[in-house]
Amino acid sequence: MWLWFQIQQVEKELVELRERKGPFDRAVRGLTASIRESYESIIFEDQDLATAEAAEQLLWRLHYRCIEEFRVRLRKLGSAAAAANHHHHRRSSAKKRGGPEEKFVRVGAQYKSFLDEVTGFYHGLIAKVRARHGLSPDLSASGTVFE
């Protein structure tokens, strides 16, 4: 129960930090990873609490908020890049150092990195769940997570 209380406190910190520093700050990403690890601990250490508090849904929402923030930012940058390209008829003159296209590419790379990180986490979580319940860690044997 203590860990659950800690997670709630750290999530409040995360909301405040996101508002101050923005969703893409390293400290925000670090705090998100810390919360993710805490949820994982609860899922394995106290299944009753995890079920009662819907820990897996809260874990998903933690990641999904970041996904939505990336999508919003990419839409804005994509619109700005399209406007810049439309304004400049020649593509070479539209590309400025630090311009909308470059920012779009940089944020897109950050988004991909985040998705890779989270996907890796979920693959690891599934492997741990399978191991805990005596299931084969090889998903290709059955073609599905559920057997």
List the chain domain ranges.
2-138
**Angle, alpha carbons 43-12-119 (nearest 5°):** 45
Residue among 38, 45, 40 at smallest CA distance from 11: 38
pLDDT band at 125 (very low <50, low <70, confident <90, very high): very high
pTM: 0.78
The mean of the pLDDT values for the chain is 86
pLDDT computed for residue 93 by the predictor? 46
Q: What percent of the chain has pLDDT over 70?
A: 86
pLDDT computed for residue 94 by the predictor? 44
pLDDT tens readout for residues 18-76: 999 988 889 999 999 999 999 999 999 999 999 999 999 999 999 999 999 999 999 99
pLDDT band at 6 (very low <50, low <70, confident <90, very high): very high
